[in-house]
Chain A
Amino acid sequence: MLTIKILGPGCANCKRLEEIARKAASDMNVTAEFAKVTDYNDILAYDVVSTPGLVINEKLVSSGRIPSPASVSAWIADAMKAP
């Protein structure tokens, strides 16, 4: 079970990132809980300079850009392997 958080105030890029992350998770048959973090104070707690940010199991994997579906899949796979 993964927890995937999308950091961002709700801009177009955040929505696109969420789309990609949801698709990657469902393609891999991974059950994940998605959460949107929209409050600036909460976003900044993750050490990001710019949004959108992607957090998998409380680890920041990407910020400031929309990663490709392939790399999101790779991060999800990493998170699944980690104990």
Chain B
Amino acid sequence: MDIAAFLVNAIRGGLGNLAAYLAAHVLLCLLPAFYIAGAMTALIPKESVTRFLGRNTRQAVSYPAAALAGGLLAVCSCTIVPLFAGIYKKGAGIGPAITFLFFAPAANVLALVYTGSVIGVDLALARFFLSLAFGIGIGLIMALLFRSEDAAHDAATSQMFAAQSVKGISRSALIFLLSWIALLLFGTLKLDFLTDSYLNTNLPLPGAQEFQALLDRLVPFDAGKGEEGISLQGVILILLLAAIGLASWRGFERIHEGFSAWTRAAIALIGWTLLVAALNMQSTPTGLRVGFTGKFFGVLLALAVLFQLGRAYLSDDALRDWLWESWRFVKQIFPLLVVGVFLVGVIRVLIRPEWIESLAGSNTPLGNLTGVAFGVFMYFPTLVEVPIAQMFLRLGMHRGPLLAYLMADPELSLQSILILSAVIGKLKTWTYVGWVALFSTVAGLIYGAWVDGMSLGVVVLYLALFLTLLGLALWLVNPRNNQLDAKQGQTF
């Protein structure tokens, strides 16, 4: 193969992958996910979660609360690091702070939703539960290893968290958030009653089939190599996405100066595009067959509720904060995702499935270590690990090592290691890095064993055993617990 043909082939692979992604995954999954993340950042008062992280809170509450804070409040590293520094310096101690740090990048709302829709709900659930268990585990280990320093740190910090005013999420904001989640579920779940069409119309559109044939020639379509192809509906959606991008840029960038016509146009376009994405379009010899699916009606219902809430119940301030935070996430993450997905398409042309197969094709300790090592040495921006993981999966990677990779990659990168050592020091940082590498390997092995047919009971037993040992060790080594609990008994 000569160089020119090779390059053309690689670039075609990249563009094809990008087009397929934009058409298939962005709209009903990523777009709502960005708005959910924005709503969580803007509408949930951070104090309502962080007040559970104080020193006087029992470990049984503060560690899960730290994980919850990670999942709900933090989406990208720019939120994670300030919150981590705040939690650590204001008295939560290193344990819950580490739990937060571990959980936030791996199992936040955006990452889970994206993993679930691109790779599979099983892997998203595994990512969630294993991150939860191991995040708390690593937090406890760090608290145990550095308990003398932690006690000194403890004495120096105020009771800041406990003193925070109790400010909960308002009811309309909660319903708003739940409606977005409902929209996301309607849009992405592959259940029969959602994907079936209840009403069909035929649009006379001569040439639709020829156009589809042209698309199939332009964008390589080979399921065996993980290529998805693109449909006529996909082209319409990509055009609508571009329009949304333009309107959002004009309407959301200056939103603090008030809602403009562009803002309203962007909101309307987003609503219509979500509806179009939920339709089922097939090209026929005479035109386009449009099916109104269960998905469509679900999305319509959710949008109606959202619109009514936004118009009548949410304050202008809340709406503005929400739109701004969502737009900020889009600006920050989406360009990286576009570049990442393009590169994945290029790389896919170059990698031979046999290489992946032989390195991590089965659930062995070595395979899992390979997954982790790849995650540590490669740095991918937020969420780009997901399309990369999907590529590995299609190329024959076992789901166990794949999870090991997915757990290690967002946790450990040169960037995060540097920031971390600035806040908590080198020794603690490298200890943390070591534990994450070990735990990710174990997570991959356990999940891989389950995929290979080990019963769920045995898996849960292993996990429970591991956590019990950890908790017991901590209890024995830390006598302060006993006094603390006696005090807590009165307040709880």
Contacts and interface: CB of A to CB of B under 8 A. Distances in A.
Interface string B156-177: 0000100010000000000000
B89 A41 contact: yes
Contacts, number: 45
Contacts of A66: 256, 321, 324
Given A51-B82, A64-B46, A69 B89 contact: no
Interface residues of A, number: 20
Interface residues of B, number: 25
Interface stretch (A12-20, A26-34, A74-82): A12-20
B contacts with A: majority SS: helix
Interface in A18-74: 20, 40-41, 44, 47-51, 64-66, 68-69, 71
A61 to B, nearest CB: 14
A13 B328 contact: yes
Contact of B47 (A13, A41, A44, A49): A49
A40 B86 CA distance: 8
Contact of B89 (A13, A16, A44, A65): A44
Contacts of B90: 44, 49
Interface string B41-55: 010011100100000
A12 B257 CA distance: 16
B46 A20 contact: no
Nearest to B158: A47
Contacts of B79: 50
B301 to A, nearest CB: 30
B267 interface: no
B278 interface: no
Nearest to A12: B328
Contacts of A68: 256, 316-317, 320
24 contacts: A9-B82, A11-B78, A40-B89, A44-B85, A44-B89, A44-B90, A48-B86, A49-B50, A49-B83, A49-B90, A49-B164, A50-B82, A50-B83, A50-B86, A64-B46, A65-B42, A66-B256, A66-B321, A66-B324, A68-B256, A68-B316, A68-B317, A69-B256, A69-B257
Interface of B: 42, 45-47, 50, 78-79, 82-83, 85-86, 89-90, 160, 164, 256-257, 316-317, 320-321, 324, 328, 332, 423
